[in-house]
Structures are given as C-alpha cells and as structure tokens.
Structure 1
Amino acid sequence: MKRLIASVVFIFAVSICYTQSVYVRGYVVDSSNNSLDAINVVQKGTSHGTVTNEKGYFELPILLTGADTLVFFGVGYKDRFKILPKHIDKSLTINVVLQRDTTLLRIVDISAIQKTKGSTVGIDTKVLRLTPDAVGGIESLVKMQLGVSSTNEMSSQYSVRGGSFDENSVYVNSIEVYRPLLIRSSQQEGLSIINPDLVGKVNFSAGGFPAKYGDKMSSVLDIEYKKPEKFEGNFTAGFIGVSAYVGNNSGKLSMTHGIRYKSNQYLLSDKLKLKNGKAIFKGLDTKGDFNNSFVDYQTFINYNFTKKWTASFLGNVSQNLYNFVPKSRKVQFGTATMQREFNVNFMGSEKDKFTTFFGAISLDYKPLNHTELKLTVSAFNTYESERYDLIGAYSLSDVRVEGSGERKTELLGSGVFHEHARNSLMATVFNVAHSGRTPLWKSTLEWGVSAGREIVADKIREYERRDSSQYSLPHDGQEIRMIYNLTSNNSINSLRLQAYLQQVYRLTMLKADWTFNIGIRANYWGFNDEWLISPRLNITIDPKESKANNRDLIFRLAAGIYYQSLFYKEIRQTFNDDLGNTHIAINRDIKAQRSGHLMAGMDYYFRLWHRPFKFTTELYYKPADRIIPYSVDNVRVRYAGENQAVAYTAGIDLKLFGEFVPGVDSWVSLSYMSSKEDIVRIGNDMSGDHYSVFTNKGMYLGEVYPSYIPRSNEQRYSVSLFFQDYMPNYPQYKLNLKLVWADGLPFGPPRTERYKAVYRAKPYRRVDIGVSREFIAGRDKLLNKQRYVKNLSLHLDLLNLFDIKNESSHYWVSDVSGIQWAVPNYLTNFMVNFRVSVGF
C-alpha cells in the first residue's frame, strides 16, 4: 500500500510540472441570484477567455501579460469589468452579478439546475468517465439514482424498489432492447448493451412512468444516441478493457461507430505475486486460468434526405467468450474466533459463448414544424451456449483460535461433486412499430402501435452429483440419485401487439403551473391469449408563490396499473417425474404479473453558499398480485413458472444534489423500503405455502402458514454517495468518491420452499475512489504541439478501497451431521485500475 500511495504522489508531482497556472474562478449570477450560463469571461487586451457553464461557473488560467482586468459580457446583460490584484501569484475566487440590459426586447431566464417534470429524470453523462467503477457503463450512474440498488459491482444489472432486473425496460433510440437469457454469473456477463461513448442523452424513471414506455413493473432507462455536429473521436485503454469511438457529420450524413473490448481476467485473478507466492492484489477465492473476452461493435447512422425526411440505422454485434479452468478454492467465513474453512480442488473446465445481433432501420417524417411521424423495423437475435464439466473434491473444517493464538482444525465433512451442463438457447425477435406526436389545442398528443414476432427455443441438460462421506446424496440406501438435475427441450413462436396513447396538458390555475400526462397502454400476447390494459397518470405542480427568496418547490404525483409483460424466462415451470428427475414445461395458463403504482414526490430547489442545490423526496406504494415468485443466485433469476403470490412494496427515497464543491455536482441519497410477498397458491393447492409441525415424539400439532416473507430483492435500506472535488490551485486534478452501504439480500437453501429463504446476506459495503489529471489543448503545454488531440486524461481508480468482502451468492454444503452450511461466494477484493483517455 505504501508503494501504491508513493506512486500516486509521484504521478501527480510529475503532472504538476506541466502547468503552474494561476486560476481565477467563480460564479456569474443575475440580480435575482439566478445562475447565468454562456457568459463570456475574457482577459482584457487579449483573446484569452472562457464561458460560464450551465451553473454559472467559470475558471480561467490567467496570462501573466500585465493585463489585470477581466471583462464579463453576454447577450441581454450589461458588460461588467473586474480589476485583478497586481502581481497576482495565486488563484482566487470572484463572484460577479450582471445587470439586465433593458434596451433588449427579449430576456431569457436561466435556471441553475434543470427542473424535473413528471416521473422521468435526466442523468448527466459527463461524470461517467470520471466515475471509478469495475464495469464502467451507463448502469454505474443508474445504480446511484433514487430507488436503485445493486449488490454486484461486476454486473450491469440493478434492482429498482424491490424488483428484479427483468422488470426494468431499456430503450435505445425509442427501441426496446433485450439481454442474454442464460447468464448465471456476473463473470459471464461481459459488456453492457449500451455503449457509453455513443450516448447523448439519458432519462430514467424509477416508477410511475408514462404510457409510451413498455409493460414492465419497475423502471425505464431511455437512451438516445448522439448525432455529432463535426468530426470527433475518443480512445480509452485500461487494465480492464479498451474502447474506441469515432463520429462525423458531412451535412446530410452523420454517423458514429464504437468498438469495445473487455476482459475481466484482471478483476478475477491474482496479480503481482511475490516470491512467497502471495499476491499484492488478490482475485476471487476460486483460483484458475481465466481466458475470457467480450467484444462489441455498434453504429448509428443518419441521413437527411430533406428537412422533412430522415432515415437512420442502429446496429450492434457482440460476442462474449468465457473460458475458465478452475484449480482450487479456499474460503474462510464465520467469526474471528470460530471460523469455517471450505477447500476445493478442481478438475475440468467451463466454456460459454453468447453471440448477439441487433439492427433497426427508422424513417422519420416531419410534415409540420411540431409534428413528427416515425416508422421503425427492428430485429434481434441471440445464440447462447453454456458448457461445463467440473469435478471438485471438497472439505469443510471448523477452525478454532485458542487464546494463545494456536489454530485447531476439525474436519466437519468432505466429499466430491460433479457439475455438468450442456445448455443452449436461441431467440429471435422481429418488430415493426409506428409512433408519432403532434400539438393538439393546448396539449401534445403522442401515440404508437407495434407488432412483433418472438421465437425462442432452448435445450437444457444440467445436473450435479454429490458424494459425501462415501454416500451419494440424496441417499436412500437403494438408488443412486443426483442432488440436482434439470432437462428442457421447449420452444415458442408467438405474436405480440402493443399500442399506447398519451396526451400532455399544460395549464395555469390555482396560482401554479400544472402539467398533466394522461395515457393508456394496451398489450396482447398470443402465447397465452392475454390482453393487458394499463391506464397511467402523471401530474406535476409548480407553485408560483414558492419562488420567493429564490426557493422553488415542485410537486409530483403518479398513479397507474402496470404489468410485467411475460417473456420466456417467466413461463418456464419445473416439475418432477416419478423417478425424481426435474423437467421444464411451458405454462400456457400463466398470466402477466400486475402492480399498482402510487407515488408522491417533491423537489426543493434552493441556494446554499451561493451555489445551487436540490432536495428530492419520493414516497411510493406498489400493491401487486398474480406474482410469479423467483429466487436469485448471483445474477441468475429462477422463476416458479406460475402465478402463486400477492405482494406489496412501500418505501421512501431521499436525495440531496448540488455543488458541495463549486462547479461540480455531488449527491447523497438514502432509501428505506419494505417488500413482502405471500404465497397463496401452489398448483391446485389454494392454501398456499405452509408446513406441518410435529412434536419430538411424532405427534401432529397443526399447520403453519408463513404469510408474508421478504421478496428476493428486498433491500430494506441503502445509502449511496457520489462526491467530486479538485485541487484548489490546480482544478485539472480531480477526485471522485463513490460509496455504497446497502442491506443484504434474503436467501435460503437451493430448490426448497420459498418460506425458507429468510436468511440475510451481509450488508453490501463498498468505497471506490478515482483520481484523474486532465490535459486540454490550448491550456496545457503537453498538448501545445498536438494538432489533432483535444484532450488527454489519466485516471487511477482504487476499487473496493477498504478490501471489504461482499457476497454475491452462497454454495450449500452438508457436514457429517447433515447440517447445511452456506459458504459465501465473495466478490472482488481491493483492486487498482489505470485508464488513459484521448479525445480528438
């Protein structure tokens, strides 16, 4: 660690030698203390200057030329001059107030923080490249939004207010995208479907979203890829992966291309081993040869035939290869004085392959200034293959530490397991969609219709055989059986129809500005011949009287009925034959899960220390029925395959957002929730989940009904912090801190009744810190001779700074007494990642 800190200090010291600039920084506001952007700040007598950002903030390196006056000017405001101290030798802060120029006819009001209208909020993607993260995708920003949680830093999956990842819709350019279906661990997951280099705009809703978004019960992530105005490019390389992006605009034709490569071998394996065999940076507990690669290419092309007609193409090709040859595993868990130790020696290997193709062609027509019509044809195809044969000889020991420090080990159990799988899945989705929008009286009318064909086929052959103390488990003294086996050979070919209609009204009444978003959505799936009708309402209230003292309040209300439109994963139902073998059948009587959304929120905009802040509060209640229970193992979600439960989710989210440090945004959020479900039906048994109770002598005492139990993604509390800072005299040196502390997820023994999943994993705790140095052409000497390089940034990320062992899942093993122990599968340890990014 001392060498690491010394290296960081050395990098920064060397970088400081490149620039010893004196900076002037501060804010520009109007007479009402509103932040002003696009205000020019120029050193008088030179062409050297800058402009304020959307928060009114500026910083300008001063040229030591004798010119000691700054000029502030902008459209609609009178010029302002500020005289600097003579012989300035250190950076200073200046805050300036500009007066309106009353000779101009048009005056534009500018807000410091963009106000949230409705249940959808925008996400600033500028901080993404500075965010320390093991994955590094857009999802790393989504995980820090209100109501969002994640307990696996290697995965791009996230849970929103107690829902599974399958309950989250993701749109790219108004087209819903799909993810692989067979992935069972975060190590296999690879790259996110969203390329952050191509992203221009991001909107997110954690519930109560309008009717134009699809039938999912939890959230919507709406991505819009950018259209470059001129040639631009970027290249990023680090220990975890490499990405390159290029974009250009030649008038009628604009295009972007992005390619990414990632290998999580750096995160999974040991690094910098010493002579004694110990590693400075430890990988996962399972040691072996990781040989995996994840490659992705995406393009977005636009062509403007005329001012009214535009065609576009969105394409994506990706391939994930995961090859792993495990050798050994050693896990220690328990308390400091009473530990359990789990050891495994492996034979065998795993080879997985996921290949995905996606393409969409859109035709846009604008017959009038504010009328838009769109026709989109899209296709998605995925082929997934999972193959492994793993044999492991394991032992479970009790390790006791005596007062003298002596370790005593007692063997609790040993055995051999054999895990085998030959799984494959193919899915193809075709879709044709039309959407449009137009002004209608004092409102905006939006509509859409689509028709799609979904084809899915899978072949599943997997089993686990376990031998413990020379007995095959489960042991009945007569037959040799597998502890687990599963077979499937199913396919579906179904039609899906969707339509929505929504109208947005804006009016002024009761001393406030009101916005109403009223909509309805319909969905038909031919597989189970089911129609879904989903009415939705969003109301935003902006009181005029609350603007006194430059403090604004906005109230938001949302209500609606939301369905979880079924796909292949939810309809697979398991059953056992006479020999105890487990098979998967397709349940054609299943219905879509249904939930009501009731949400009330408030945004409070205020200024503190002459800087903008926003405090957000949201209360929500989501009753649900026709629930399909599921269990979570790492990132794999296994559904019961039938409507068995009723449920509810209720909670509160709090978030403080603003400039804790001048010119950069930081935020802290706190969430508390309760998410419970009650199994009221299992097959034809309408009594639901229950079990019999007997005395020690076998006397029957009665039935126990567990009633409501925690849902699989219930995180009762979570706290997250994202903080940005920079060196006072050298703002090009930046620091970013990300902190997460969240409740552990419920879990239980595998392949048992849901009411037994009442244990809790340890709380998920993690701190990541990133430090960076940015060089900009025209400001830093390093790039003075570079014609094509616009900026260069160096990033050093310290991941899991305190080396906390977080749990992703559990492996259950029995001792000689038949007692089952949950052996934790730990996530990544402390790791260092270095990145270089070059902008063109």
Structure 2
Amino acid sequence: MYVRGYVVDGRNNGLEAINVAIVGSEQGTQTNDKGYYELAVDSRTADTVVYFGLGYKDTFRALPIHIDKSITINVVLQRDTTELKTVDISAIRRDKGTMSNIDTRVLRLTPDAAGGVESLVKMQLGVHSANELSSQYSVRGGSFDENSVYVNGIEVYRPLLVRSSQQEGMSFINPDMVGKVNFSAGGFAAKYGDKMSSVLDIEYKKPSAFEGNVTAGFMGLSAYVGYADDKFTMAHGIRYKTNQYLLADKLKLKNGKAIFKGLDTKGDFDNSFVDYQTFINYNITPKVSLSLLGNVSQNLYNFVPKTQRVQFGTLTVQREFNVLFRGLEKDRFATYFGAFTLDYQPSHTTDLKLTASAFNTSESENYDLIGAYSLSDVSYDNSGDKKTELLGRGVFHEHARNRLSATVVSLIHSGKSRLLSSDVEWGISAAKELITDRIREYERRDSSHYSVPHDGSEIRMVYNLTSNNSTNTTRLQAYVQQTRKFGWLGADYSLNVGIRANYWSFNNELLLSPRLNLNINPRWKRDFMFRLAAGVYYQSPFYKEIRQTFTDSLGNSRINLNTDIKAQRSLHLLAGMDYFFRLWRRPFKFTAELYYKPADRIIPYSVDNVRVRYVGENQAVAYTAGIDVKLFGEFVPGVDSWISFSYMNSREDIVRIGGDLSGDHYSVHTNKGTYLGEIYPGYIPRPNEQRYSVSLFFQDYVPNHPEYKLNLKLVWADGLPFGPPRSERYQAVYRTKPYRRVDIGASREFVRGRDRLLGRQQIIKTLGLHLDLLNLFDIRNESSFYWVSDVSGSQWAVPNHLTGFMVNLRVSVDF
C-alpha cells in the first residue's frame, strides 16, 4: 500500500526535493519536480508521516488507524520565517546519481571576472578552466565543445567564430532567472544529449509574487523583474556587460604607472554585450500550461590596438617583445532564440511536453592589423640599469573577413510517467540545421625586409585560409530510460537504465548509446552513498568538427566539409561515493569519484585562447583516467565552503592520417642526411590535459555581524600543452605555466526591517554593497602564444597574458 500526493507551497506551486518519511522508521522518499511523492507504507507499524525541507516548517500528518488501500494526502508547507543569526541557509543535499545540485545563492557574492553560473561550475569536480575571461570550461580532459547545456530541457548553443575570451561576452544563462542548477561531469542519463564530457541542466524559476533586482558595477549592470498571479507567471531579465575596465589600464599614478594591469596589448577598447531574456508561463487549465522562453543578444567587440610589450623568459635568459600597431578589429555576434512549450498532465503520475524552438546566430569577424615588432635580449648591469640587445625585428599583417550564419529549428516531444513501480522518461526530436560559412583570413610576415616564407620569386603568406561552405541537414534523436527503486541485501538501490539514438543526415550515421546508473544507500550505514555508472557516449558532430583543411604546395589552405566524418565515441566507467559526517557539530560531506574513459574515432584539435580547431578527420584513439575528491561543509557555522582536488591523465594517439594507417610518425636523419628510421610518438597529452587542479571556495562573516560577508576563491591548476602554430600534434611538447589565481569578495547587506538605512519604506527589501579584489596576487597567467624568430633562426613563444590585479565595485538592490 502507498501514501501518495502533492506537496505545494502557499501559491499551489509544487515543491521539489521535499523529504517525506514515516516517523520512527527509515522509510522515506522525496518529491519530484512537480511536488508529487509516492511512499510505500506498512499499515501495521506506520502511524504518522512527516514532511520537511529546507526553508519550510516540518509538517506532520496522522495516518488512518486501519489502512487497507492506498490513500492520497496533499500537503501545503509553510515557510520557516525564523530569523537566522548566520549568513545564509546551509544544507548538505544528498544528491542522487551522477547529477549534483549547485547552490546559486552564493553567486552574487562570488568574485569573478566573467561572472555567470559558469563561475560556480568551474569549481565542481572534474571541471578545469585556465581563462577567467571565458565562460567555457573543460571537463576531465575534454574540449569546450563536449559540454551540453540545457535550459528548461532545451539545448542551447554557443557562438562558433569566437577566437579570444575578450570577444566572448556573456553566456546564455541569466543568473537572475535561474531556479535550479544540476551538473554532471560524466556518466549522465540517456535523456541528456550526445556530448562526451558533461551536462549542465538549468531550470529557470517561476516567480511566486512580484519581485525584482538590479545590480550595477564597473563591468556592467543587470536588471530582473518577475510577476505572478493565479494562472500567469513571467520573468524578464536584461544584462549589459563591458570588459573595457578589465582589458585597459586607464587608471595611472602620477609617474604614469598603471594601477591595475589589463592585457599586454594596449589600445582603445569599445565593446558592449547586451542580452535580454524572458520566460512566460500561462496555466490554461489545471492540467495544461503554455510557456515561452525567449532570448535576444548582441555582442559588439571593437578594438584599436596601439602597443604591446611582453617580458618573458627565465631567471638567466630574459626577453622583451615590443609591437607598434596600426589597424583595428571589429566583430559582431548576434543571437536569437525562442521556444514554445505545451505541457499537459493527464494524471498526477504523467507529464507530457511538446516544444517548438528556433535558434539563429549571425557572426562576423573583421580585422586588419599591422604590427612592427622587435625581440630583444634584456640584461641588467651592476648598477641595476637595463640593457637591451636587438635579436630580431619584423612586420606582420593579419587580415580576416569571416562570416557565419547558423539556424536550428527543432520540434521536441518529451514525457515521463510512473509505470509498474518505476519512473519512465522518453523523448523524440527532429531538427533542421542550416549553416553558411565564409572564411577569408591570412597572415603575412616580413623579417629583415624579406617576406616569410621567402622563395625569391613571389610574395607568399605565412598562413592563409579560405572557406565557402553551406550545410542543410536533419538530425533525429530519441531516448527512453527507466528508474526503479528497490531494496536488496540490506541496502536501498536506485537503478537507471536507458538508451539513446541519434541520426544525422550529413553523414548518414545512426548512433545507439546505452547508459546505466546504479546508486546504493546501505541501510547498515546511512552515512554512506555509493554510485556506479557506465555507458557509451558519442560526440555527434555539429559543424566545427567536420571542417577539414587542405594545403597545397604553395601553402594556400582551404576548408572542405568531410562527409565521411564519424561521431567520436567514448566509454564512461565511473565509481563514486559520498560520506556524510559531522565535525565541530556541523554537517560535512566528502565525495570521491574514480573514472576511466577510453575513446576512439577521435578528431584531434588544437586550442588557441578559446578557439578550437579540429583536423576534420577521425584520426586518433584516446583515454582519460583520474580521481576527483571534494570536501564540502560548514567550516564556518551556517555557510558552506569546499575544497576539491583532481588528478588525471588524458592522452591520445594518432593512428591514421587519411589513408595512411601507420598514423603519426616522422623520419630521423643524421647531419649528413643518412636515413636512420621512423619515430612513432605514440600517446601524447591531449590539448586540455591539466594533470592536477586544486580549487577552494571559502565563506566567512564577522562574528555577531553576519551582514558583513567575505568570500575567497582560489584555483591552482597544471599548465596546458602547446606547440608551434599549425604544427604536428606531437610537437606540442611545451606547457604553459600553472594557472594560479586568488579572488576575494567582501560585501555588506542591508535588510529592510533590520537596518536603519532602509527605514520604513516598503519597496527595497535588501541593499548590497560588494567589493571584489580580482587576481589578488597579480599573477599573470598565459592564454596563448605568438611565435617569433631571432637572428639565429631560433623560435621564441611570446606569451599573451591574461588580466592582472583588478578591483570591482558592485551595488545590488532587491525589491
């Protein structure tokens, strides 16, 4: 027999993750995303059910004395309005499966150069990033393109032409509109799409009353407003961002020295990133609702560089690279997105959805930059005076006229129901993908008044690339998965089994992806939870992966589309555990995960800043193996902090190039030209292999004055492999310096009814003042490299540094 029903709030909104348990026993369950629950009961021993959840008062319901059939109990929970003496509500959630919940309440307090939900994602297990200006991230050795992002069950896309992090602007996700965030670094269920590394699942909130907030700072502003009545909810958010303050160094001392250090390249930045989003929901009947999710964004990046000065080298050998620029860069990225969803609930156990969506991006990249550069040796005499010796000089000219337009129109049906004591979810979708690509870019280099490369007969480019391609393809996807809970051998189990299918008309490839997740909660030790996951995961190509570059004898390169491309394939094997314990009378959770991901049909790629360029052919096999550990809990009473450590090994071996099945190799000769044999590099580090990573997020507050808060974020990660531009993959034998960064945020929050500053007015609920100290120790991390030659012919990798120490001030108002 079962007790079933809904748990709702005062406005009849279903409450998710509310605990429902039989008092005095270990029987319990949680409500789903609609607030529905179903709990098996023993009529001989059960007499009272308790309902409890974070932020709500415990509610008890007595069961009838004699239960001879299943009954329905619907419960309305009241908010717990007890005034807290600490900073924030803290709770350790028992995440189930490989999906973990991210608490976004600390987002406003988190100091970060890029901002956004991704700043918290980068602190999760297995996630790596080496660029504070970008919202992109790598998960367990994968590329930036291997991460799925869903908003309200709809997959969203990133711009395709973005070359550097300062062009990138804002991510799709609006932090002000976020309700729930779940993330998985691998082993995720079949309902999530065909990507090999991770999934970020975002659900926008439905406001329960009129609400809003405004935030303004040195790096932009945002505004949000929400409204609700009995049948209608709406939320609107607008964001404006500029990174001029981060990139430039306008503030200087009397001696001309910059107070804050921007990028190495100095000039006039004129860029702006604007984004508007709306989420509207209307309940037509108690069982039928219609919603709209819409987005319009425009990113403008205009830059007139003037000078660049980089000092680099070792303690014994120091170099200085100087450039005088002419020209400008002018880029535009415009994105439009809309999705209508019809939601029908024929019963309390079944939910059916039909979604029609459209996405369009229009991108243009234009630059003509001429730079006169010099490379010098730097030394200091006994008196400390600086001496330079010229090693080489030259001129480069970089030119681009790139255009890309992409449109994706899709129709999606998804559903879930409770059948035969298990939860069944399914989905099917059809999408039309239209992409047009026009690339015209080149680089000319003049060294000692000779065009490089020099053959004495004609002017040649050191690099040039052209593309004129279009695609018109259809993609079909479907999945079905079942989740069943049962008890066996002294433990409670949750088993999720599913399969996913994908067909793409471009290469006529059908993919089948079986996946399994098993979660174990021992009854003998409730402080432990274990999980196992296994499955086949494909990286179904979108567009960048199918572009294959061909170079003729004169060095001219063009892009063709490879219709023989296959989806990259990986096997995920994962074992993890959570240990819940109390220390200093406060809750903590220790998490550990071991994983092994062999892969084949890999498409090798290179990374320059945030631009990923694929070779456009399945050439390699690869593997990634590692361990992630995390300690999460109340190091300070009432607020959550955590520290995590990751270690991994991610390698690939190029086993074929075109029709050559011998793979990657090169010949070895003596100085006199005598052939000695072939060298096969074998497994080499993948471009995003950061072998170790340590991250720390710490919250604190002033004792007896919790309105004064302090947040600290620390990252220390291994450097990334790199090599000369347009070289063979096995030549990437260098590594950037370790990525190290410390950000500190301090804030003061004024609350209506508690602080005199807000008086008795009824409009403003809270007022927050925030001070962010970014890159506190002014460590100049490296994003990419420019390669130059000296008079002896030796090549030098000149680093392009990221931002230095900065200060950001923000003001936030909630009403």
Distance in 1 (CA, whole Å) between partners of 2:24 and 2:386 is 72
* Residue 257 (structure 2) pairs with residue 278 (structure 1): yes
Change in 2 beyond 3 A, CA 1:145/1:732: same
Please tell me whether the aligned partners of residues 337 and 401 of structure 1 are also in contact (alpha carbons under 8 angstroms): no
Question: What residue is the counterpart of 2:744 in the other structure?
Answer: 769
Secondary structure of 1:642 counterpart? coil
Matched ranges for 1:296-311 at <5 A: 296-311=275-290
Question: What residue is the counterpart of 1:728 in the other structure?
Answer: 703
* Residue 605 (structure 2) pairs with residue 630 (structure 1): yes
Question: What residue is the counterpart of 2:10 in the other structure?
Answer: none
Matched ranges for 1:792-803 at <5 A: 792-803=767-778
Question: What residue is the counterpart of 1:577 in the other structure?
Answer: 552
TM-score by length of 2: 0.90
Secondary structure of 2:727 counterpart? coil
Distance in 2 (CA, whole Å) between partners of 1:112 and 1:632 is 39
Please tell me whether the aligned partners of residues 753 and 760 of structure 2 are also in contact (alpha carbons under 8 angstroms): no
Change in 2 beyond 3 A, CA 1:54/1:131: farther
Please tell me whether the aligned partners of residues 90 and 639 of structure 2 are also in contact (alpha carbons under 8 angstroms): no
Following superposition, the deviation at residue 477 of structure 1 comes to 2.5
Structure 1 counterpart of 2:652, which letter? E
Question: What residue is the counterpart of 1:484 in the other structure?
Answer: 463
- After superposition, what is the alpha-carbon deviation per residue over 1:204-234, rounded to whole angstroms, capped at 9, x for unaligned? 0000000000000000000000000000000
Question: What residue is the counterpart of 1:43 in the other structure?
Answer: none
Distance in 1 (CA, whole Å) between partners of 2:698 and 2:381 is 44
Question: What residue is the counterpart of 1:601 in the other structure?
Answer: 576
Question: What residue is the counterpart of 1:200 in the other structure?
Answer: 179
Please tell me whether the aligned partners of residues 326 and 370 of structure 2 are also in contact (alpha carbons under 8 angstroms): yes
Matched ranges for 1:288-367 at <5 A: 288-367=267-346
% identical equivalent positions: 75
Distance in 2 (CA, whole Å) between partners of 1:661 and 1:311 is 44
Question: What residue is the counterpart of 1:818 in the other structure?
Answer: 793
Question: What residue is the counterpart of 2:34 in the other structure?
Answer: none
Unaligned runs of 5+ in 2: 1-22, 26-51, 62-82
Structure 1 counterpart of 2:417, which letter? T
Secondary structure of 2:173 counterpart? coil
Q: Could you say what the CA RMSD is over the residues aligned between the two structures, in angstroms?
A: 1.9
Following superposition, the deviation at residue 31 of structure 1 comes to 12
Please tell me whether the aligned partners of residues 469 and 816 of structure 1 are also in contact (alpha carbons under 8 angstroms): no
- After superposition, what is the alpha-carbon deviation per residue over 1:65-85, rounded to whole angstroms, capped at 9, x for unaligned? xxxxxxxx96569xxxxxxxx
Runs of 4 or more off by more than 6 Å in structure 1? 53-57, 91-94
Distance in 2 (CA, whole Å) between partners of 1:246 and 1:537 is 41
Question: What residue is the counterpart of 1:156 in the other structure?
Answer: 135
Structure 2 counterpart of 1:516, which letter? L
Please tell me whether the aligned partners of residues 338 and 401 of structure 1 are also in contact (alpha carbons under 8 angstroms): no
Following superposition, the deviation at residue 515 of structure 1 comes to 0.3
Distance in 2 (CA, whole Å) between partners of 1:74 and 1:456 is 54
Question: What residue is the counterpart of 1:555 in the other structure?
Answer: 530
2:413 to 434, 443, 466: 434
Distance in 1 (CA, whole Å) between partners of 2:243 and 2:310 is 21
Please tell me whether the aligned partners of residues 271 and 282 of structure 1 are also in contact (alpha carbons under 8 angstroms): no
1:493 to 446, 458, 472: 472
1:649 to 624, 629, 649: 624
1:718 to 682, 689, 693: 693
Structure 1 counterpart of 2:263, which letter? L
1:834 to 784, 809, 813: 809
Distance in 2 (CA, whole Å) between partners of 1:290 and 1:525 is 42
* Residue 115 (structure 2) pairs with residue 140 (structure 1): no
Distance in 2 (CA, whole Å) between partners of 1:236 and 1:795 is 10
Following superposition, the deviation at residue 403 of structure 1 comes to 4.2
Q: Structure 1 residues 421-430 or 280-289, which shifts more?
A: 280-289
* Residue 790 (structure 2) pairs with residue 790 (structure 1): no
Following superposition, the deviation at residue 400 of structure 1 comes to 1.6
1:755 to 707, 727, 730: 730
Please tell me whether the aligned partners of residues 719 and 742 of structure 1 are also in contact (alpha carbons under 8 angstroms): yes
Matched ranges for 1:80-119 at <5 A: 112-119=91-98
Question: What residue is the counterpart of 1:695 in the other structure?
Answer: 670
Please tell me whether the aligned partners of residues 652 and 672 of structure 1 are also in contact (alpha carbons under 8 angstroms): yes
Distance in 1 (CA, whole Å) between partners of 2:439 and 2:735 is 30
Distance in 2 (CA, whole Å) between partners of 1:614 and 1:839 is 32
Following superposition, the deviation at residue 130 of structure 1 comes to 0.5
Following superposition, the deviation at residue 55 of structure 1 comes to 7.2
Matched ranges for 1:537-548 at <5 A: 537-547=516-526
* Residue 194 (structure 2) pairs with residue 219 (structure 1): no
- How many matched pairs? 744
Structure 2 counterpart of 1:754, which letter? R
Distance in 2 (CA, whole Å) between partners of 1:818 and 1:660 is 56
* Residue 657 (structure 2) pairs with residue 682 (structure 1): yes
- After superposition, what is the alpha-carbon deviation per residue over 1:693-733, rounded to whole angstroms, capped at 9, x for unaligned? 11111111000000000000000000000000000021100
Unaligned runs of 5+ in 1: 1-29, 33-52, 58-72, 78-90, 95-109
Structure 2 counterpart of 1:659, which letter? E
Distance in 1 (CA, whole Å) between partners of 2:755 and 2:114 is 30
- After superposition, what is the alpha-carbon deviation per residue over 1:308-363, rounded to whole angstroms, capped at 9, x for unaligned? 00000000000000000000000000124431000000000000000000000000
Structure 2 counterpart of 1:391, which letter? I
Please tell me whether the aligned partners of residues 459 and 487 of structure 1 are also in contact (alpha carbons under 8 angstroms): yes
Distance in 1 (CA, whole Å) between partners of 2:760 and 2:256 is 46
Question: What residue is the counterpart of 1:663 in the other structure?
Answer: 638
Question: What residue is the counterpart of 2:567 in the other structure?
Answer: 592
Distance in 2 (CA, whole Å) between partners of 1:835 and 1:633 is 32
Change in 2 beyond 3 A, CA 1:129/1:31: farther
Following superposition, the deviation at residue 409 of structure 1 comes to 1.1
- After superposition, what is the alpha-carbon deviation per residue over 1:506-550, rounded to whole angstroms, capped at 9, x for unaligned? 001110100000000000000000000000000000001003xxx
Please tell me whether the aligned partners of residues 90 and 638 of structure 2 are also in contact (alpha carbons under 8 angstroms): no
Change in 2 beyond 3 A, CA 1:326/1:712: same
Secondary structure of 1:782 counterpart? helix
Distance in 2 (CA, whole Å) between partners of 1:54 and 1:328 is 58
Question: What residue is the counterpart of 2:79 in the other structure?
Answer: none
Following superposition, the deviation at residue 407 of structure 1 comes to 2.5
Please tell me whether the aligned partners of residues 475 and 502 of structure 2 are also in contact (alpha carbons under 8 angstroms): yes
Secondary structure of 2:642 counterpart? strand
Secondary structure of 1:272 counterpart? coil
